[in-house]
Amino acid sequence: MEESLDKKNITLPALDKTDINAYQYSPLTLAYIGDSVLDLMVKSYFVVNVNKQTYKYHKDVTHIVNAVNQAAFVDLVMPEFTDDEMDIYKRGRNATTHSKAKNATMGEYRKATGLEALFGYLYLEGKNDKLKSYVDRMIETYING
């Protein structure tokens, strides 16, 4: 993919509620919101920075947000996790789920769920700079191959 990394800044909407404690939510709830936040941020990146047909957007976005690539990204960035981030990631990874991604192993699916829980935690805690840095790296990893 030959897209420039000189991207326009994508920001997330602020939550109205400022007293959220993300630890009060189950890891699967954090993963649920984290999956949506990741999807929105990646879609926003491509729409704002690259003009193409919608099916091409879909192809690029699904490649980044699929469980296999999320698991590979976890392996790349896990050494950088803070203690809180590692705790949330492990809670998400170890949560009992009743589903599995179509094209991923159970191990990859669990890693992806942990990453999504981490992203949900960062979003709910208002740590959008850290969240954005992780998502930007996911996109750059995909673009650079």
Give the catalytic positions in this structure. 35
Question: Does the pLDDT value for residue 144 go beyond 80?
Answer: yes
Please give the model's pTM, rounded to 2 decimal places: 0.87
Torsion of CA 143, 57, 112, 89, to 10 degrees: 80
Residue 3 lies inside a defined structural domain of this protein: no
Band (pLDDT 50/70/90 cuts) for residue 5 is very low
Structural domain including 68 reads 23-144
The CATH code of the domain that includes 46 is 1.10.1520.10
Residue 53 predicted with pLDDT over 80: yes
Q: Is residue 12 part of a domain?
A: no
Q: Residue 116 above 60 pLDDT?
A: yes
Domain count, the chain: 1
List, as one string, the DSSP characters of 11-26.
Answer: -PPPPS-S---GGGS-
Position 51 in a domain:
yes
Are 97 and 113 within 8 A, CB to CB?
Answer: yes
Look at residue 134 and tell me if it is in a domain. Answer: yes
pLDDT of residue 2: 40
